[in-house]
């Protein structure tokens, strides 16, 4: 399997969890602080960190620190490439 296929598989794995898909949906309206993401879920901070780490590792989400909080936004470059991939499939 080539590297490009591995990267796509990692993207699909990240998208296979409903909480991570919901996080992406929430981020489509713009950057959000981890504290605001936590307010909308019935999960612990370590669980949110796990989800965000997976989303960041496959470049679906960009993270930046501000003080003690992390702020997250969608990586439109990766999402655009994923969209192009699906367009090529049809």
Kindly report, residue by residue over 15-48, the tens digit of the pLDDT. 999 999 999 999 999 999 999 999 998 899 999 9
So what's the pLDDT on residue 35?
Answer: 93
Q: Indicate the domain borders of the chain.
A: 3-89
Is residue 54 pLDDT above 70, yes or no? yes
Longest dimension (CA), the chain: 45
So what's the pLDDT on residue 42?
Answer: 87
User: Which helix H or strand E contains 61, and what residues bound it?
Assistant: strand 61-66
**Full-model pTM:** 0.90
Architecture, CATH, for domain 3-89? Orthogonal Bundle (1.10)
DSSP H helix total and E strand total for the chain = 5, 3
């Amino acid at each position: 399997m080539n590297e490009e296929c591995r990267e796509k598989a990692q993207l699909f794995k990240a998208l296979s969890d409903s909480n991570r898909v919901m996080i992406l949906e929430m981020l489509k309206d713009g950057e959000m602080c981890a504290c605001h993401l936590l307010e909308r879920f019935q999960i612990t901070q370590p669980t949110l960190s796990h989800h965000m780490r997976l989303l960041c590792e496959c470049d679906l989400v960009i993270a930046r620190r501000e003080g003690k909080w992390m702020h997250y936004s969608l990586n439109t470059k990766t999402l655009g490439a994923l969209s192009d991939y699906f367009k090529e499939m049809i």
